Structure 1
Amino acid sequence: MISERDVSVHPPATAGFHIVGYLLNWGFFGALCVQVFLYYWAFPKDKLFLKLIVYGLFALDIIQTALITSDAFLKFGTHFGNVTIFASLKNLWLSVFVINAITGAIVQLFFAYRISVLSKSRILGALVALLAVAGCAAGIASGVQAKISKLNNLAAIAYSTRAEVSAWLSTSAACDIVITTSMVIILSQNRGTGLNPETDDAVKKIIWLTVETGGL
């Protein structure tokens, strides 16, 4: 069994990975703020449940960014110069494991609903929903396992939660593949009629967007 002493820490490399991650998180958060503002401005008449999904995900991202920023201040401010702090768990069990699992599941469940409506197949929608819930459960289990493991070393934690993390990532990936494939097939069946070229072009763009965002 791996222990905390089995992991060596290289300060420059470890600190570099952390700071890049924090900067990328804030960059993506800025892009998300712009997207939420555009949604608020362009779709004021959307259904209430759609607004709850958008603003709920935004709220979760704010919480996640606050937790990650707290970790960043702790490592590069309060404990500056303490090399071992870079291997500690801190808020990662919640910000990375739990919140990512929940937000991912919410998006996937929304697509499950859309697929069910567009394909008129409850079985296909239920399959996507089942994968989404299973992935979310595994992700939350990973975070809980990391928190209760009483380890304060990321490598040791990664080893102790490898089964839960593998189940989480593989299930979520399978769900994304099913969503992307289903959306492409459904949308492809609704274009190429030739009756309205503008509509066909719009659907084609949506297909490409689905592949680019969902597939990747």
Structure 2
Amino acid sequence: MNSTANSPGFAIVELSGPLLLAFSMDWALFAALTVQLYLYYQAFPNDMVFTKVLVYTVYCINLTQVIFVTIDAFNTFGYSFGDPSALISTAFRWLWLVGPIFGGIVACIVQCFYAFRLYRFSGSWIPPSIITFIALGMCGIVIFGGVSGRQSSSLWANVQAILVVTSPIYLVGTALIDITIAGCMTYYLIKSDAGFRRTHTLVTKLIRLSVETGVITALVAILILALFLGTPGKTYFVVPANSISTVYANTLLAVLNSRFQILNGRRYAPTSDIHISIPSNLPSTMGGPAVSITREELSDRSNQAMELKQVINSATTV
């Protein structure tokens, strides 16, 4: 690989371009994660200690990751600027830790959290237990792949060892887990929808959020595998692989932060469906109140409240 990098006519951009995009994407996603953490800190001071520990643990892992990414970036484009061989000798120094190990741990934590939420909605331990067991197995496989890559004799062998061990099993497995979680959440949420307007709005929002987060993380895993298998000998797969941990962390914070609502925003809905109309020609001499209350969903308010309480408790008790 070193000889290729130094050969006449070799396009250095094929190595430097993916690295630059990978470093930049990781910094950008970490910045978005920091903003989400600040919003979470401000909005939900009363969350369970378990949830807070989970959030801050995931953030600290990603903070450590971005430090190692910055070290690799500075070694490649700082100390070794102008040296094509440095694109191989220094660029992937911490890839074995950042990509597979940090990514696998964060993905496992987030998937287990989704499994817990699935239990809250379904009331059954069977699907969440299966998802948790598989997630832990995938995490063990990807950590083994990272350690195997660290012990390789050369840097490119490092990258190949990581991907050969993890790509056929981990990337496919984690994508299937994410899709399964999204499918199960959608199924149980649809079952809990009783058709009331407020309940239906909340359920629709949760379904959309579950599908979006599950599809995003699954697509990242599939993209890594497709780039690795479809462009052999290239480093294009590094762009999504380097950021998979931050992608999972952002989806976790997106799910938690979806509980607050921006007042008077585009999706703001009044908290009451009771409309009181006062006639404009009301005589001032009338002794008693003269108001009329329009009949809108008053008959099923008690049932609606019960449905809302059930769905909201499942969605917000974290």
Q: TM-score, normalised by structure 2?
A: 0.63
Query: Could you tell me whether the CA contact under 8 Å between 1:119 and 1:186 is conserved in 2?
Result: yes
SS in 1 for 2:4: coil
The 5 A counterparts of 1:11-160 are: 11-88=12-89, 89-153=92-156, 156-160=157-161
How many pairs align? 208
CA distance in 1, matches of 2:124, 2:180: 14
Unaligned runs of 5+ in 1: none
Greater alpha carbon shift after TM alignment, 23-32 vs 77-86? 77-86
Q: Which amino acid aligns with 2:4?
A: S
Distance 1:163 1:142 in 2: 5
Identity %: 31
The farther-off stretch of 165-174 and 124-133 is 165-174
Q: 2:192 aligns with which of 161, 182, 190?
A: 190
Measured against aligned partners, the alpha-carbon deviations of 1:178-198 in whole angstroms (never above 9, x if no partner) come to 11111111111111x233x12
Stretch of structure 1 that moved more, 28-37 or 82-91 = 82-91
Larger radius of gyration: 2
CA contact (8 A) 1:98 1:143 kept: yes
Structure-2 change in CA distance of 1:181 and 1:76 (3 Å): same
CA RMSD in angstroms, aligned pairs only: 1.5
AA of the residue aligned to 1:199: T
Letter in 2 for 1:72: A
Higher helix share: 1
The answer to which of 178-187 and 10-19 deviates more is 10-19
Decide whether the 8 Å contact of 2:111 with 2:135 is kept in 1.
yes
Higher relative contact order (CA 8 A, sep 6+): 2
Q: Could you tell me whether the CA contact under 8 Å between 2:118 and 2:185 is conserved in 1?
A: yes
1:169 aligns to 2:171 (yes or no)? yes
Paired position in structure 1 for 2:4:
8
> Once the 2 structures are TM-superposed, how far is the Cα of residue 208 of structure 1 from its aligned partner?
1.0
Task: Show structure 2 runs of 5+ residues with no match.
Answer: 6-10, 217-318
The Cα of 1:170 is off from its aligned counterpart by 1.4
Whether contact under 8 Å (1:131, 1:174) holds in the other structure is: no
* 1:81 to partner: Cα distance: 1.6
Q: Give the whole-Å Cα distance in 2 for the aligned partners of 1:72 and 1:35.
A: 25
3-state SS, counterpart of residue 95 of structure 1: helix
| Residue matched to 1:206 | 206
